[in-house]
A and B are shown apart, each in its own frame.
Chain A
Amino acid sequence: MISFQNVSLEYRLGKYALENLSFDLKSGSFTFLTGHSGAGKSSLLQLIARLTRPTSGDIQIGNIIYSELGVRQERALRQQMGIVFQDNQLLHDRNVFDNIALPLIIGGYQFDDIKLRVNAALAKVGLEQRGSEKPINLSGGEQQRVGIARAVVARPKLLLADEPTGNLDSEISQEIMQLLKHFNASGVTVVFATHDEHLLQTYPFQRLTLSNGQLVNDESTQSAHGSRKRSSTRKVY
């Protein structure tokens, strides 16, 4: 589903955030994107979300070739993805319901559909009774769950999570992980950037490890379909 071919991202002349990456991720997979701080995890996610453009190389999702996309098509593509951020990026001047409804309003959904989907998303993240609350009144874990609900409310096929557990304690991190696992089980491809060793040890999903902007050999642990095998991170599947 996601294919990177010799992708590089230069942020300053001669300085690369990502260098010559090539890999393929299958549809429906769950992939940990790991590496130290500044390794290029967020840059890679931004490339997938088309928030930034590669200096060279080709990126493809399904039949969509990124280099052929116009600005409008890029935005339309982003509407089909769910993105979860470390700092959850919620709007604190409106309530939880309206935060989750935002992608649907952007997508031009009808009100009845919005109501249905938002309430379904709230139920999935266990916040049915908190829709009318302002995010500031929620705990960090609840806020992150709202972020996840917003990311999945439009039922995307791809969910990008940029260190969503970075600011949360271990117990809440497990809750968030369980949620993402649940969505992955329903067919959503998940790319989860983290450097949380505990999570990486607990959940044996495949890894894509970055170091100084380059993919490094790593032990692939388990595919999204549950089979355990060894493979290069350059060709995860």
Chain B
Amino acid sequence: MRTKPEPDALDGSGARWTYTRRGYALSQSLRQLKQQRIASLGTLLMLGITLALPVILYFAYLNLATLGHRSLEGESITTYLRTNVSDIAGAELAESWSTREDVARTDYLSKEQSLAMLGEASDISSVIALLGVNPLPGAIVVYPQITDVATGSTDRLAEVLRSIPEVERVQLDLRWVRRLAAAISLLAWIGGLLAVFLTLSALLVITNTIRLELARRKSELEVANLLGAPRHFMNRPIIYTGAVYGLLGGLLASITGLMVLNAVQSPADTLSSLYQNEFTVSMPTMTQILLVISVCVCLGLIGAVSSLYRPSQHFRQ
């Protein structure tokens, strides 16, 4: 006849690692999450949602910064040479400009290339053909080194080019780039402020949760104190709880952020293509996601440590 085996007390109830000081602390933190499933889930959801917005703002800022950089990258100064400047002289001039420190590269468009481009872009090539001669000048497209628009370095370069005798006209339009940069800067500020407020909210959520946790564990802390547990032994499970909340909250916020980016990727790309822009919404890199999670873990740790200040005083004896 089979009998129910006697409960085995020889090995304890937990895994081997839970009987070390750090393992004990971690197991107590995880036990709390498990025992208070609904409450923990609610706290995590609140944390995840609170942290999600700063994370979304951060991911959006990364994309907008790329957009601004790309806009500057594509920015160029078109210099139209005088008609009496030959293609050879024009090409030499372009080559000499490309050696300047404030110039990334130059492209020379010969008179023939200019005519061909005009022909592609409009239907006046037949009119020009009637003239018998090519009236278009050669042009040099100058790509400045990428710098902040606000510094005015591109304006200064345009001024220098204007003063060169072979140059007839310089065409430069940075107004929309400036507007974009200013808009991105404003968004970054607003987003940054929002992120700070929301991050503080998340910190308060963690701190409050851990204060409640401390109240719940009062008897355990008292027993540990009576048994001569060092302060760090009593504090460690609480600090680990803060870190676990931060980690899970950060993961939840990152997943939410990725889902939002994924959702807006398609419409944003469609909008970008309408403006003939190569910009596409890109997903954050693993490093950026890890950065977000690390910041959230730090928030959890800060919340836990600030909650512990008074209990540590209480158990100082």
> Does A181 interact with chain B (Cβ within 8 Å)?
no
Is there contact, CB below 8 Å, between A96 and B233? Answer: no
Is there contact, CB below 8 Å, between B35 and A119? Answer: no
Is there contact, CB below 8 Å, between B21 and A132? Answer: no
Is there contact, CB below 8 Å, between B226 and A89? Answer: yes
Is there contact, CB below 8 Å, between B226 and A98? Answer: no
Is there contact, CB below 8 Å, between B223 and A106? Answer: no
Residues facing A in B197-251 (CB within 8 A) are 219-220, 222-224, 226-231, 233
> Does A232 interact with chain B (Cβ within 8 Å)?
no
Residues facing B in A191-232 (CB within 8 A) are none
A182 cross-chain contacts in B, Cβ below 8 A = none
Alpha-carbon separation in the docked complex, A119 to B11 (Å): 9
Binds A, one of B2-10, B131-139, B187-195, B278-286: B2-10
> Does B317 interact with chain A (Cβ within 8 Å)?
yes
Question: Which residue of B19, B222, B316 contacts A114 across the interface (Cβ within 8 Å)?
Answer: B19
> Does A65 interact with chain B (Cβ within 8 Å)?
no
Binds B, one of A15-23, A26-34, A70-78: A70-78
Residues facing A in B1-45 (CB within 8 A) are 6-14, 16, 19-21, 24, 31, 35
B31 cross-chain contacts in A, Cβ below 8 A = 93
Residues facing B in A134-192 (CB within 8 A) are none
Question: Which residue of A74, A98, A104, A106 contacts B13 across the interface (Cβ within 8 Å)?
Answer: A98
B16 cross-chain contacts in A, Cβ below 8 A = 111
Nearest B residue to A50 via CB reads B317
Is there contact, CB below 8 Å, between A79 and B228? Answer: yes
CB distance from B216 to the nearest CB of A (A): 10
Question: Which residue of B14, B228, B231, B233 contacts A98 across the interface (Cβ within 8 Å)?
Answer: B14
Question: Which residue of B7, B20, B21, B317 contacts A131 across the interface (Cβ within 8 Å)?
Answer: B7
A132 cross-chain contacts in B, Cβ below 8 A = 7-9, 13
A75 cross-chain contacts in B, Cβ below 8 A = 228-231
Is there contact, CB below 8 Å, between A89 and B228? Answer: no
Residues facing A in B168-188 (CB within 8 A) are none
A83 cross-chain contacts in B, Cβ below 8 A = 226-227
CB distance from A152 to the nearest CB of B (A): 12
Binds B, one of A4-12, A35-43, A55-63, A122-130: A122-130
Alpha-carbon separation in the docked complex, A118 to B8 (Å): 13
Alpha-carbon separation in the docked complex, A94 to B8 (Å): 15
Q: How large is the interface on A (under 10, 10 to 19, 20 to 34, 35 or more residues)?
A: 35 or more
CB distance from A70 to the nearest CB of B (A): 12
Alpha-carbon separation in the docked complex, A133 to B233 (Å): 25
Known: A72-B230, A76-B228, A105-B19. A130 touches B14 (CB 8 A): no
Alpha-carbon separation in the docked complex, A105 to B17 (Å): 11
Is there contact, CB below 8 Å, between A105 and B20? Answer: yes
> Does A235 interact with chain B (Cβ within 8 Å)?
no
A25 cross-chain contacts in B, Cβ below 8 A = none
Alpha-carbon separation in the docked complex, A111 to B24 (Å): 12
A52 cross-chain contacts in B, Cβ below 8 A = 317
CB distance from B22 to the nearest CB of A (A): 10
Alpha-carbon separation in the docked complex, A133 to B226 (Å): 23
Is there contact, CB below 8 Å, between A118 and B226? Answer: no
Is there contact, CB below 8 Å, between B9 and A130? Answer: yes
Is there contact, CB below 8 Å, between A95 and B13? Answer: yes
| Contact digits for A85-97, partner B, Cβ 8 Å, 1 yes 0 no | 1000101011111
Is there contact, CB below 8 Å, between A106 and B7? Answer: no
> Does A54 interact with chain B (Cβ within 8 Å)?
no
Is there contact, CB below 8 Å, between B35 and A111? Answer: no
Is there contact, CB below 8 Å, between A106 and B20? Answer: no
Residues facing A in B140-157 (CB within 8 A) are none
B223 cross-chain contacts in A, Cβ below 8 A = 89, 91, 102
Question: Which residue of B12, B224, B317 contacts A115 across the interface (Cβ within 8 Å)?
Answer: B12
Is there contact, CB below 8 Å, between B10 and A131? Answer: yes
Nearest A residue to B230 via CB reads A75
> Does A48 interact with chain B (Cβ within 8 Å)?
no
CB distance from B316 to the nearest CB of A (A): 7
A89 cross-chain contacts in B, Cβ below 8 A = 219, 222-223, 226
CB distance from A69 to the nearest CB of B (A): 12
B14 cross-chain contacts in A, Cβ below 8 A = 98
Known: A93-B35, A108-B21, A114-B19. A103 touches B227 (CB 8 A): yes
Nearest B residue to A85 via CB reads B226
Is there contact, CB below 8 Å, between B224 and A106? Answer: yes
Known: A79-B227, A106-B228. A101 touches B316 (CB 8 A): no
Extra pairs beyond A83-B226, A93-B31, A94-B13 (18, CB < 8 Å): A49-B226, A74-B228, A74-B317, A80-B228, A89-B222, A89-B226, A91-B220, A91-B223, A98-B13, A101-B19, A102-B223, A105-B21, A106-B227, A106-B230, A114-B12, A119-B9, A130-B7, A131-B8
Q: Which 9 residue pairs are nearest across A and B when measured between Cβ atoms?
A: A131-B9, A78-B228, A79-B228, A132-B7, A75-B228, A106-B229, A111-B19, A97-B12, A103-B227
Q: What are 9 A-B pairs at a CB distance below 8 A?
A: A75-B228, A85-B226, A89-B226, A91-B219, A98-B13, A102-B223, A103-B227, A130-B7, A130-B9
